[in-house]
Amino acid sequence: MNPPDLITILISGGIGLVAIGAVGMAVSRHLLRLVLALAIAEAGANLLLVLAGYRWDAVAPILTGATVTRPMVDPVPQALVLTAIVIGVGVQALAVALLIRVKEAYGTLDIRELKTRVEQEICGAAGIAPPESANKPGGGQPYPVPVTTSRESA
Amino acid sequence: MHKLASLLFAIGLAALLIGLAAQLPLGMTPMVVGQAILEQAPGETGSANIVTSVVLAYRGIDTLGELAILFAAATVAGLVLAPSIHAESRLRAKPRHDAGLVLRAGSDLLFPLLLSVGFYIVLHGHLTPGGGFQGGVVLAAAFFVSFLARPARQPSHVGIVLIEALAGASFIGIGLAALLGGGAFLQPVLDKGTLGQLVSAGSLPLLYLAVGLKVGAELSGLLAHLAE
Amino acid sequence: MTAWIALVLVGLMLGAAVLVLYLDNLVAAIAAASVVSLLLSLLFALLAAPDVALTEAAVGAGLSGAVLALGLRRLGLIDLGKREYPDA
């Protein structure tokens, strides 16, 4: 059995991570799981970036002797990804700190509950009733009077 | 319905990325800039690890920007987590007990090991894989392990801030020294030495030491804030 | 040979990434995210990027897990052995 192509496997791994992270960000209702999904998508993007500088016939960009004997892989994407990983953990720590404040302020991390509570708070501060449904106007205002033409009433 | 829509979105995204990746010459990248750097870097910086010379010499300002981002993230996290004035009544004043014997003995054993491994990685960044960022994380882990074992003995916040500020200032100071010497900002200065020696590559090990101390101090401060 | 190793690593990595989204216990989900980072660092080592592999192993698999677990403790959601969140 022929061995599969290395580049194809790694591309599918990176794209799979990005897709799984995107789905996770779309479907997760818990804010902490959203942060985890973001970390996964970021890992996939890093893998694709390193892959962009890879050459199948090359060695790591570190000199072992005085002269270059074999071709080396591109060092520029590697330096870029090194930067991106460290910034990623900084962003993650900031997100966790914000989650802690959200939990202190609203007592929940569920996105739908958070939405209703934030809406209630905004409506309470503005002094209007919270919107009960999308079809009913908020603020206790009456329905607009349906326009009837004189021809229909006649 | 919502999940079905997300699944369709993911399939579309993956198809788009596959279509893009199929057009790229992956595996045999032409590398125009990379080839030039690979040819010139050993002679210009004297560093055996070419990724290090890209991070600190060719893209040094980028690394300075990264340090600024990390500093901003750590500062804002500390600011957000600081107890507010209104929450004073909810401050947990419970006494912090030391962890059990196994954890304390393990942390006493690990602390010097992690510290020396961290400094080894930082100081050999121009010779072997590693450098300021990786070594800084290991240094932060050393302090965090001892903090977990003995929560009462916290690292002093003033000391952490002082180390961080001095390291950041010395990074910029080395860059300004290159400017004074007639070169560009953050251009490598000092003698390049012999390739592969510990004392070589001019100012790159000093820059990585500053990065390592700054990252280590920032991250241990962040972990201490989160653990409070 | 390298391709087979990469195939196994990518398979495990994608499996762990799916587990991050589907595990009910948040502590287990964070552990699965660390597993993703660890396998990714092995892939970086295969891709002739030892610097990136070292960073990913130290930052992604180590520090990021510690940050998330500490955050979970501050959030009061850390509760080993209990299903603390019903939603997947």
Which tops the pLDDT comparison, B81 or A145? B81
Minimal-distance CA residue of chain A relative to C23: A33
Query: Residue B155: is its pLDDT beyond 70?
Result: no
Predicted local distance difference test score (pLDDT) of residue B90: 47
Q: Which chains contact A through at least 3 pairs of Cβ atoms less than 8 Å apart?
A: B, C
Q: Where are the domains of chain B?
A: 50-82+97-227
Least Cα separation, residue C81 to chain A (angstroms) = 18
Query: Residue B216: is its pLDDT beyond 50?
Result: yes
Amino acid at A14: G
Which tops the pLDDT comparison, A54 or C36? C36
Sequential DSSP letters for chain A: -PPPPHHHHHHHHHHHHHHHHHHHHHH--BHHHHHHHHHHHHHHHHHHHHHHT-BTT-B-SB-SSSS--S-B--HHHHHHHHHHHHHHHHHHHHHHHHHHHHHHHHS--BHHHHHHHHHHHHHHHHT-PPP--SSS-STTPPPPPPP--HHHH-
Contact call for residues B208 and B133 (beta carbons, < 8 A): no
Query: Residue B113: is its pLDDT beyond 90?
Result: yes
Predicted local distance difference test score (pLDDT) of residue B24: 77
> To the nearest whole number, what is the mean pLDDT of chain B?
80
CATH classification of A8-56+73-130, choosing from 3.30.1490.270, 2.60.40.60, 1.10.10.10, 1.10.287.3510?
A: 1.10.287.3510
Cα separation of A33 and C87, whole Å? 10
C59 touches chain B (CB under 8 A): yes
CA distances from B185 to A56, A107, B37, B171, C37 (A): 36, 49, 19, 11, 35
Predicted local distance difference test score (pLDDT) of residue B219: 87
Q: Please report, rounded to a whole number, the percentage of residues in chain B having pLDDT higher than 70.
A: 90
- Indicate yes or no: CB of A48 within 8 angstroms of CB of B21: yes
Predicted local distance difference test score (pLDDT) of residue B89: 44
Which tops the pLDDT comparison, B19 or B184? B19
Would you write out chain A's pLDDT as a tens digit for each of its 154 residues? 566 788 888 888 888 899 889 888 888 888 888 999 999 999 999 998 888 888 777 777 777 766 666 778 888 888 889 888 988 888 898 898 888 888 888 888 888 888 888 888 888 888 777 666 555 555 556 666 666 665 554 4
- Indicate yes or no: CB of A82 within 8 angstroms of CB of B34: no
Sequential DSSP letters for B89-129: GG---PPPPP--HHHHHHHHHHHHHHHHHHHHHHHTTTTSS
Which tops the pLDDT comparison, B197 or C21? C21
Mean of the pLDDT values across residues B8-36? 80
Predicted local distance difference test score (pLDDT) of residue C41: 92
Cα separation of A122 and A105, whole Å? 14
* C2 three-class SS: helix
Q: Please name the helix (run of DSSP H) or strand (run of DSSP E) that holds residue C64, with its range, or none.
A: helix C64-75
Q: Which of B110-114, B117-121, B162-166, B202-206 has the lowest mean pLDDT?
A: B202-206
Sequential DSSP letters for B1-69: -HHHHHHHHHHHHHHHHHHHHHHS-TBB---HHHHHHHHHHHHHH--SBHHHHIIIIITHHHHHHHHHH
Predicted local distance difference test score (pLDDT) of residue A64: 74
**Interface A-C: count of C-beta contacts within 8 A:** 144
Which tops the pLDDT comparison, B226 or B30? B226
**In sequence order, which ranges of B126-156 are alpha helices (DSSP H)?**
132-149
> To the nearest whole number, what is the mean pLDDT of chain C?
84
Which tops the pLDDT comparison, C19 or A151? C19
Euclidean distance between the first and the last CA atom of chain A, given in angstroms as a whole number: 86
Minimal-distance CA residue of chain C relative to A71: C48
Q: How far is residue B9 CA from its own chain's centroid?
A: 35
Predicted local distance difference test score (pLDDT) of residue B1: 67
A53 touches chain B (CB under 8 A): yes
Predicted local distance difference test score (pLDDT) of residue A67: 66
Nearest to B70 among A75, A82, A86 (CB): A86
Residues of B within 8 A of A63 (CB-CB) are: 42, 48-50, 195-196
Q: Please report, rounded to a whole number, the percentage of residues in chain A having pLDDT higher than 90.
A: 10
Which tops the pLDDT comparison, C86 or C29? C29
Nearest to A39 among C7, C43, C64 (CB): C64
Q: Where are the domains of chain A?
A: 8-56+73-130
pLDDT confidence band for B129 (50 / 70 / 90): confident
pLDDT in tens, B158-211: 888 888 888 888 888 888 887 887 777 777 777 777 776 777 777 788 888 898
Query: Residue C70: is its pLDDT beyond 70?
Result: yes
Count of CA atoms in the C-beta half-sphere (13 A) of C80: 2
Contact call for residues B104 and B149 (beta carbons, < 8 A): yes
Minimal-distance CA residue of chain C relative to A25: C21
Predicted local distance difference test score (pLDDT) of residue C16: 92
Neighbours of C48 (CB within 10 A): 22
Cα separation of A17 and B40, whole Å? 36
Contact call for residues C85 and C24 (beta carbons, < 8 A): yes
Amino acid at B50: I
Cα separation of A101 and B70, whole Å? 20
Predicted local distance difference test score (pLDDT) of residue C36: 92
Query: Residue B9: is its pLDDT beyond 90?
Result: no
Interface confidence, given as ipTM, is 0.84
Predicted local distance difference test score (pLDDT) of residue A154: 45
Query: Residue B35: is its pLDDT beyond 70?
Result: yes
Query: Which of these, A80, A49, A79, lies nearest to A62 by C-alpha position?
Result: A79
Q: Please name the helix (run of DSSP H) or strand (run of DSSP E) that holds residue B189, with its range, or none.
A: none
Q: Which of A59-68, C26-35, C70-79 has the highest mean pLDDT?
A: C26-35
Query: Residue B92: is its pLDDT beyond 80?
Result: no
pLDDT confidence band for C15 (50 / 70 / 90): very high
Mean of the pLDDT values across residues B141-167? 82
Contact call for residues A32 and C20 (beta carbons, < 8 A): no
